Amino acid sequence: MIRRWFSIIGFGLFLFVIFVMLTFPFERIGPRISRQLEQSLYDVFRTTLSCELSGFGFHLPLGVRADLIVCKGRRPSESFQVSDLKLRLLPFSQRASFKMGEGSAEIHTNFGFSTHLKNLRANIRNLDIKQILPLVYQLIRNSGALVLIQPDVEGQLNAQLDLPIDSWPKGTGSIELEAAKLKLPTQPALEFIGLNDLNFDEAKLKAELKDSKLSIKTFNLLSTPLSAKLTGDLDLDGASLMTAKGTLLFKWKVQQSDALMSSQFGSILLDAPCSSPDAQGFCAKSITQLQEITRIFGN
C-alpha cells in the first residue's frame, strides 16, 4: 500500500515537472537573462553589448539552455557569438558553460544582494584567441594601460581565472594563462622591426592577487628572434596596472639577425644596454613600473 502511494506521488510530481516545462514562459524570462548577461559583461569589460538568445529552454535538473547567443558591440570587432550555452541559476550562485568555435569555457559567478557581479571563476579550453582579442584589448584598457597598437594574434588560449570583480584590487584572486601555437602573423607592427611573422615556443602567465598586491610568478613570451620574462610584485592600491609601483625583474633576449639589423627599430632592440647576459643569453634589469620597459629600448 505504501509503495503504491509513493508511486502515485512520484508519478504526480513527474507530470507536474512535465507540465511546468511545457508551459514555462521562456519568452518572458529569456530577455531578462539577456539583460543580466549584458550587465555582467559590462561589469567585466566596461563596454556596452546587446545580447540575444535563441533556442531557449530547460536544462535539467536546475538550469536553462540556449542554442545560440549573439552579442553585438558598438564596433563590429567587439561582437561575438557562442553556442550550446547552459546556465544554472541559483540564488547568489550561477554557473555557465558554452562553446565558441572549437573552444569551450565554464564560468562560475556570484551575484550578491545587488545585481552586480561579485566574483568570477572561469576554466577556458582551446579558445580561439583571434575571436576574443577585441575584448582582451578592452580589458587591458580598463586596467589603465595605454593601448597604442592592437596587433593581430593567432593561437588557442587555455586559462584558469579567479577574479574578485567588485572588490578589485583588494580581493583575493589568481590568473593562469597559456597560449598554444601563439603567432603574430604578417602585419605592419612586425615589418617595422624587420620580421615577417613571429611564432612563440612558449606563452605563459601565472599571477596571484591578495590585498592589492599582484604577484607575477611567471610571465614568459619565448620565441627564437625575441623573448621576454617578467617576475615580481606590484602594489595596485589606487593605481592602474601601468602606473603601479613595485619590485620587478624584466629579462629579454634579442637574437641578432640581418632582418632586425636592417630595420630602424630592430637595431634599437639589438642596441639596448646589456652588461652581463646570463647563461641562456637573457639580459636583466630591475624596474619598479611596467612602463619602464619601454625606456630600456629608448622609448
For cell 596587433, what's the residue? 151
Buried b (16+ CB within 10 A) or exposed e, 32-61: ebbebbeebbebbbebebebebeebeeeee
State CA 111 to chain mean position distance: 20
- Residue 2, Cβ density class (10 Å: 0-12 exposed, 13-18 middle, ≥19 buried): exposed
What pLDDT sits at residue 143? 64
So what's the pLDDT on residue 147?
Answer: 67
Contacts of residue 266, Cβ cutoff 8 Å, sequence gap at least 6 = 193, 194, 195, 259, 260
Q: What is the mean pLDDT of residues 247-268?
A: 89
Q: Which pLDDT score, from 0 to 100, does residue 78 have?
A: 73
pLDDT of amino acid 20:
43
283: Cβ–Cβ under 8 A, 6 or more apart, which residues? 251, 252, 253, 272, 274, 277
Quote the strand ranges of the chain, DSSP E: 50-54, 57-59, 63-72, 80-90, 93-100, 103-111, 117-128, 154-164, 173-184, 198-210, 213-223, 226-235, 245-254, 283-287
Q: Which three cell numbers stand for residue 51?
A: 545580447
Q: Which three cell numbers stand for residue 222?
A: 619565448
Q: Are 69 and 98 in contact (CB under 8 A)?
A: yes
**Rounded to whole angstroms, what are the CA distances from 293 to 76, 282, 290?**
32, 15, 6
pTM, whole model, 2 decimals?
0.76
CA angle 161/90/20 to nearest 5° reads: 135
What are phi and psi for residue 236, nearest 5 degrees?
-90, 0
pLDDT tens column, 158-172: 999 998 877 888 889
For 45-61, how does the pLDDT look when each residue is reduced to its tens digit (9 = 90+)? 777 888 887 777 666 66
Percent pLDDT > 70 in the chain is 80
179: confidence class by pLDDT, cuts 50, 70, 90: very high
Domain boundaries, the chain: 143-299
Tell me: pLDDT of 191 over 80: yes
Is 50 exceeded by the pLDDT of residue 18?
A: no
- The single residue listed with the C-alpha cell 563596454 is 47
φ, ψ for residue 35, nearest 5 deg? -65, -40
Mean pLDDT of the chain: 80
Q: Does 188 sit behind a cis peptide bond, omega within 30 degrees of 0 on the bond before it?
A: no
Cβ within 8 Å of residue 243, ≥6 positions away? 144, 289, 291
Residue among 148, 129, 261, 149 nearest 195 (CA): 261
Looking at residue 210, its pLDDT comes to 93
**pLDDT per residue over 106-134, tens digit each?**
888 765 545 566 788 899 999 999 888 88
